[in-house]
Structure 1
């Protein structure tokens, strides 16, 4: 496959991955503050769908395309900026796995409360707290990965 096409798709998919993550987090966090179980149930349903549609596909495509690009460039995976990008990507991906499960729980709790006509229960808040706590390291990991991929610093001080 042509290098430039794969590079374009790599950058495009990273944009989808990061944009979906930030967008769905924003909507789920702020809609949860309304405490309206019916509204939360609808938004949470779409957040889960968006995560499976965009995040799941790009979280698979990103490392595959990145490894392909590194190989085509003859760049060893031990190149400092590439190595740390991989480590941070893995941290973010490991945070995402429980996050997606927590999002499904949040959706189910909201659907159940909406069906009963009751407010969101305390377990919703506890689940949302865990979801947010895992989202923070994922967000910062991706922000650093973006910087590493753009700046490609030597990071010589880490190997020094």
Structure 2
């Protein structure tokens, strides 16, 4: 019963993390297409808010549930190949979020607050947005591959 509860917690974290990554990318790109400074500023604010609640929250649940379930099941998380690969893929995705995506979000958020008043959207905003989208797709793809690894458990 404990194992099932921890695994459910782990899966709930996966749903929050991956679901937020995919949905945020889609609605931010949709907001960017509108090119309205007020819409862009609102979208940038929500990118940050949803990352704190759903991405960070999802990671916490994913880690607590995953390591808890592995402990209860007696799995060695450092010597079972599919668990190692799942952790590596999660860490790589997390490194992209921390090193590329979050700084781009912060930069774009600051720009958005400034251009709401002026109405002028700088070229650097669009450059940072393209960078965020490309690396966001890569970070999300790593998570999707990690899901496959955790389900398929390849040797």
TM-score by length of 2: 0.91
The Cα offsets for residues 89-146 of structure 1, whole Å up to 9 and x where unpaired, read as: 000111111312311221221221111122x111101111221232122111111111
Aligned residues: 153
Aligned counterparts of 1:92 and 1:130: Cα–Cα separation in 2: 15
Contact 2:10 2:64 in 1 (8 A): no
Paired with 1:39 and 1:129, the residues of 2 have a C-alpha distance of 17
Two-structure CA RMSD over aligned residues (Å): 1.5
List per-residue Cα deviations over 1:19-47 (Å, max 9, x = no partner). Answer: 00111111112211222111110111112
Contact 1:59/1:93 (<8 A) preserved = no
- 1:105 counterpart residue number: 107
Q: Within 2, Cα distance between the matches of 1:110 and 1:70?
A: 43
Unaligned runs of 5+ in 2: none
**Distance in 1 between residues matched to 2:94 and 2:50, nearest whole Å:** 16
The answer to whether residue 132 in structure 2 is matched with residue 135 in structure 1 is: no
d(CA) in 2 for partners of 1:64, 1:12: 11
Q: 2:118 aligns with which of 92, 107, 116?
A: 116
Runs of 4+ in 1 over 6 A off after TM superposition: none
The question of whether the paired residues in 2 share the 8 Å contact of 1:51 and 1:100 is answered with no
After superposing the two structures, state which structure 1 stretch, 128-137 or 32-41, moved more. 128-137
> With structure 1 as the length reference, what TM-score do the two structures score?
0.88
Structure 1: which 5+ runs fail to align? Answer: 155-160
Matches within 5 A, 1:1-160: 2-77=2-77, 78-97=79-98, 98-118=100-120, 120-154=121-155
Q: Is the 8 A contact 1:41 1:110 kept in 2?
A: yes
